């Protein structure tokens, strides 16, 4: 169930704010409610689900600040991943690049056949493949959550129908690694993350949360304002 929810988020089939009703989930996944609550708690610790006493569990909606923090963390980790892959001994590096190329072929194919869900999921997965190629399981597990959070951030803050990842940019990163151009791969990787973040409208006022906007107004005054 946990993986199914994370995957649905990675494919943007589950948008921020969607209610995750325990009863329904128990029915869908054939689990008891105690187990469902446990999974939702784990997902909330991973900042993928938000738990609130009144509304229960909902898919998390990263704020602009949280989104910036996610991308700050990704820039740091993914630069190190590129350095690690570039520093692998010859045969290992070649195997890593071959596996990244296999992944890129799958990304290209998803676009060709118009499989939008696979396209979105695979574009996020490219970054995880890089972590796996670097052979660092800690980075892989941190990045898995950062990618899910990025996916939610794109759903919450995207300005149009743009994809969060450009496949052309993924190709260029792998090309630079294959050419032993570490500096080039690093700058392409950072530019790629900057492009994704720049496509989001993080500076506009978050205008949907009326309570936050009027938080300085005391309840009594708020009542008069309503009148
Ligand atoms: Zn990407």
pLDDT in tens, 183-199: 999 999 999 999 999 88
pLDDT over 90 at 93, yes or no: yes
Same domain flag for 95 and 22: no
Distance 214 CA to ligand 1 centre (A): 38
The token duo for 98 is 């071959």
Q: Per-residue pLDDT averaged across 157-181, rounded?
A: 86
The arithmetic mean of pLDDT across residues 23-47, rounded, is 92
Please give the distance, rounded to the nearest whole angstrom, from the Cα atom of residue 192 to the centre of ligand 1. 7
143 with 46, same domain? no
**pLDDT surpasses 90 at 87:** yes
Q: Select the more confidently predicted residue: 147 or 224.
A: 147
User: Would 110 be classed as within a structural domain?
Assistant: yes
Together in a domain, 86 and 169: yes
Same domain, 45 and 84: no
**Centre of ligand 1 from the C-alpha of residue 124, in Å:** 6
pLDDT in tens, 56-81: 999 999 999 999 999 999 999 999 99
Count of domains for the chain = 2
- The whole domain housing 96 covers 64-198
What is the per-residue pLDDT across 97-142, written as a single tens digit (0 to 9) for each?
Answer: 999 999 999 999 999 998 888 888 899 899 999 999 999 999 999 9
The domain boundary, picked from 42, 59, 76, lies at: 59
For the range 146-150, what are the long-range contacts, defined as Cβ-Cβ under 8 Å and sequence gap of 24 or more?
146/70, 146/73, 146/74, 146/77, 147/10, 148/6, 148/9, 148/10, 148/46, 148/48, 148/124, 149/47, 149/48, 149/60, 149/62, 149/66, 149/67, 149/70, 150/67, 150/70, 150/71, 150/74, 150/124, 150/196
Span from the CA of 142 to the centroid of ligand 1 (angstroms): 16
Instruction: Decide if 227 is inside a domain.
Output: no
One domain, residues 87 and 159: yes
**Per-residue pLDDT at 166 exceeds 90:** no
Whole-number Å distance, alpha carbon 126 to ligand 1 midpoint, is 6
Note whether residue 206 is domain-resident: no
Question: Residue 106's pLDDT is what?
Answer: 95
Q: What is the SS3 assignment for 49?
A: strand
Instruction: Tell me the CA–centroid distance for residue 120 and ligand 1, in Å.
Output: 10
Give the chain's mean pLDDT. 88
**In terms of domains, do 23 and 107 share one?**
no
> 112 and 149 share a domain?
yes
Please check whether residues 34 and 124 belong to one and the same domain: no
**22 CA to middle of ligand 1, Å?**
33
Measure 50 CA to ligand 1 centroid, in angstroms: 26
Rounded average pLDDT over 31-46 = 93
pLDDT for position 54? 85
């Amino acid at each position: 169930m946990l993986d199914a929810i994370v995957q649905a988020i990675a494919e943007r089939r589950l948008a921020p704010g969607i209610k995750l009703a325990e009863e329904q989930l128990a029915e869908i996944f054939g689990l008891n409610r105690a187990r469902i609550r446990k999974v939702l708690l784990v997902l909330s610790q991973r900042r993928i689900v938000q738990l609130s006493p009144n509304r229960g569990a909902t898919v998390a909606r990263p704020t602009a600040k949280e989104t910036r923090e996610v991308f700050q963390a990704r820039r740091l980790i993914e630069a190190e991943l590129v350095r690690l892959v570039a520093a692998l001994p010859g045969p290992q590096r070649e195997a890593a690049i071959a596996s990244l190329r296999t992944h890129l072929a799958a990304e290209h194919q998803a676009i060709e056949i118009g499989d939008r869900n696979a396209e979105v999921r695979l574009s996020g997965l490219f970054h995880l493949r890089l972590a796996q190629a670097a052979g660092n399981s800690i980075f892989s597990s941190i990045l898995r959550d950062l990618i899910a959070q990025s996916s939610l951030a794109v759903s919450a803050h995207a300005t149009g129908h743009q994809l969060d990842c450009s496949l052309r940019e993924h190709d260029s990163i792998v090309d630079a690694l294959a050419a032993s151009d570490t500096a080039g791969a690093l700058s392409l990787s950072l530019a790629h993350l900057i492009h994704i973040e720049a496509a989001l409208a993080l500076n506009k006022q978050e205008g949907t949360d009326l309570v936050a906007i009027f938080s300085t107004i005391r309840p009594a005054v708020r009542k008069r304002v309503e009148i």
